[in-house]
Structure 1
Amino acid sequence: MSTLLLRLAAPIQSWGVASKFDTRDTAREPSRSGVIGLLSAALGRSRTDNLDDLKTLRFGVRIDQPGVLLRDYHTAARQTKRGDSFVTTRYYLADAVFLVGLEGENRFMQELDTALRNPVFPLYLGRRSCPPEGQLVLGLREQELMQAIKEEPWQAGEWYRIKLQKERFDEVKLTIICDAQPNTIGAFLRRDVPVSFDQRHRQYDFRMVTDTVDAVTIPILEAPAEMPTEHDAMAGWGD
């Protein structure tokens, strides 16, 4: 068994788990269904393809940079003679960074690693309007899921690290949400296991998860030098 690590970061991302009617919500971290959708796109699978092999993977998320909840409005037109419009509300996470781990059989994990580096379909973080930025695939680790997640370096952006440093934080506490082992005390339910992505009858099942906190020391970084903001339009002219 091995663990594939991913860095999920983007200006905005959205991981819907309980959207209803005109309101599209987002969880505060990547959902299992959203990440399985990402893997399916990389593999070139259709919405009606079987998901059994992807559902067997153990899944965990570390919140390296929690981001900010963003609320957006969309106006859509109804297909009526009057062309009535209505407002929908959509939620996103802005400036968030997550470390995601997937544990499974070595050969299959290697296949997923290759597919994510050479995806068949475009990849996005929850919604099509949220393409990933920076390095997505961190690679395979010959470790079990929780160990791989805990030992991977902190993935937060440099500006966020400097911000915490200026606020005189010596360490940051990172929440890890992971599939629970059987009979784990304190485990709770999440309804984000995809049974089918078929748009005619999407179905999701429950899983048991645990959340733990891991403390990471903040490395000392030098703040970037401030650039001058004043501009003298006549500076280029001679005396």
Structure 2
Amino acid sequence: MITVAIADDQQLIRAGFRSLLSAEPDITVVGEAATGTDAVALVTRTAPDVVLMDIRMPDGDGLAATEQIVADPALAGTHVVILTTFELDDYVTRAIRAGASGFLVKDTEPVELIRAIRVVAAGDALLSPSITRRLLERVAGDLQDSVDTAALDVLTEREREVLALVGQGRTNAEIAEELFLSPLTSKTHVSRIMTKLGARDRVQLVIAAYDAGLVKPAHRE
């Protein structure tokens, strides 16, 4: 069972998410919060697998709440998903630094929201890879020292290939298909890369891939 906490200052949005998620047999909503402070208290109390976190909330915004949640060792198994729009580049940069595991736009199709929650709860891939990649491309120049890229020297050639594909937003299954590996081998490579680079999650691996030049950001218009 996947446990989810919802943090948003708009009651209608919280109710919509709760109604949608509660209809799924493998997802349980453990609580709602309307402020950043309440979100931290809720997550601390319930330790959910996934937090849907709005950025703009009163009494401590979603970014401050994310920072507190990620910094708590007792919540290491909790993944924060930021609810955002493409226009909030500065917020996205802060969210990445704060430790967010992924991003969703608020008008995401219901089936994609559900799929994304399952994916991020499993820790198997970036949430909505294409969305996250586009966001990272916009802010890549502002992301520095997120991961010690000098540590890339310890990666094997195969691990560098895998890291480049992670940087492109590929899932483990897609990496396996691209490199003619088994899904388990692909997942093992990603886990080893995270360990070697001291990365917290796949978002940081994407940043490392950009910083190391394994993936080139798209040219800004």
* Shared fold (TM-score, shorter chain, > 0.5): no
Higher RCO by CA contacts (8 Å cutoff, separation 6 or greater): 1
Bigger share in helix = 2
TM-score (norm 1): 0.24
Bigger share in strand = 1
TM-score (norm 2): 0.25
